Homo-oligomer: A and B are copies of this chain.
Amino acid sequence: MKYSYVSNLYCPKCGTRFNTREQHQLCSCGTPLLVDYDLETLQMNLTAEELKSRDDSLWRYHELLPVEDSENVVSMGEGMTPLISLSNLGEEMCMENLFMKDEGLIPTGTFKARGAAVGVSKAKEVGVKELAMPTNGNAGSAWALYSAKAGLKSTVVMPKDAPEITRKEVALSGANLYLVNGLISDAGKIVGKAVKDYNLFDAATLKEPYRIEGKKTMGLEIAEQLKWKLPDVIVYPTGGGVGLIGIYKALKELKKLGWVKGELPRLVAVQSTGCAPIVKAWEEGKTESEFWKDSSTLAFGINVPKALGDFLVLDAIYNTDGCAIAVDDESIIFEQEKLAGLEGSFVCPEGAATFAAIRRLRKQGWIEQNETVVGLNTGSGIKYPQSVKVSPKMLEKGDTI
């Protein structure tokens, strides 16, 4: 039996198809490429039941991933993160079935490891020797560390304001690290130039087609962990939006395979009021977003003023009767404390934004009491120490409490 049922790459705008054995970036029309699989044949050769006894990493879904030879898999055990029942927080929000998919429990501490594991493995398979990327921090650390394990060289450019821990991860991996006095869009321009000057593989969001496939596994896992019964709503903090695009792609593939049935979950994109281009586009009924000027939010991972895949995110929302919603920094801080105090989870600000949005959508009645809702926490709060202020009591030796 084949390790992967990948068939080809295709452009979602102009329809051109490409071979998965060669290196590809964007389509010649400038659009991100997507990956297609031979689902008809796979359906005859694999049942959902057979997955049960497999290893608990995202590679359990290798037939639905693009790596064609298992020898090329670069893995640190990523995937099958917990789907945790939040009964205490749910009770407070008057919700009976609230879950958190906790992407803090993955190498490098954020969901970016999924895209990196699959993206780097496939890059290795198609002969990439050196890659470069701009990043808000976490994708850079994931790609740099997976590249190190794969034996690939990497160059990473990030804003100087990106979380400090991520520059340490990149440096420790042995990658070339540059900080830029600007935003991720400025880093992107520098990388774009370097890619041309030095003939590097461009691993920027959606400029290579395989990161989505890694992110997709969040959707596959949610379905399997809920025993192939889809939730009513999935809520995702949206910067570049690749996770949401990937989850949507996963759910459609599962439907084609017949492993899930019925309506797809309503997909919700959460942004910050300080950077909400997709929310604005959705509110105006548009199919693409506009660049958000002077963006600012403490949830650094969703500070993306214009996402290359915005049209795919909006497509996923429209097609599932989902919505887009913005929350402010104050409600993010409030929700982060709620999650720690009620559920023991120290989530990242982006993850807190997810649950701040759920709280609001429930209050508005957009989410109903008995609906099954899965919120994504995209990373561990440990990576964001500055988001918590403490003033502990000081004692001397021999003092008493």
Contacts and interface: CB of A to CB of B under 8 A. Distances in A.
Most chain-B CB neighbours within 10 Å: which of A104, A337, A388? A104
A392 B167 CA distance: 8
Interface in A161-197: 164-165, 167-169, 171-174, 176-182, 186, 189-190, 193-194, 197
A180 B397 CA distance: 7
Given A145-B340, A149-B88, A168 B385 contact: yes
A393 interface: yes
B105 A107 contact: yes
Nearest to A146: B344
Given A84-B76, A109-B380, A382-B382, A346 B169 contact: yes
Given A149-B343, A340-B173, A179 B400 contact: no
A178 B342 contact: no
A320 to B, nearest CB: 27
A398 interface: yes
Nearest to A182: B397
A396 B181 CA distance: 5
A84 B106 CA distance: 13
Given A80-B56, A345-B145, A397-B182, A172 B337 contact: yes
Contact of A82 (B77, B157, B160, B169): B77
Contacts of A157: 395, 401
A351 to B, nearest CB: 13
Given A84-B76, A390-B167, A399 B148 contact: no
Nearest to A166: B382
Interface string A45-64: 00000001100110000000
A347 to B, nearest CB: 10
Contacts of A75: 84
Contacts of A114: none
Nearest to A57: B82
A291 to B, nearest CB: 15
A125 interface: no
A380 to B, nearest CB: 6
B173 A341 contact: yes
A81 interface: yes
Most chain-B CB neighbours within 10 Å: which of A102, A109, A155? A109
Contact of A385 (B151, B164, B176, B401): B164
A340 B390 contact: no
A399 B145 contact: no
A162 to B, nearest CB: 11
Contacts of A396: 180-182
A383 interface: yes
3 nearest A-B residue pairs (beta carbon): A77-B82, A149-B344, A171-B390
Given A173-B340, A179-B394, A198-B401, 20 more contacts: A53-B53, A77-B105, A88-B151, A105-B105, A105-B106, A107-B344, A145-B345, A148-B341, A149-B343, A171-B388, A171-B390, A172-B341, A172-B388, A178-B395, A180-B394, A181-B395, A181-B396, A186-B397, A194-B401, A380-B382
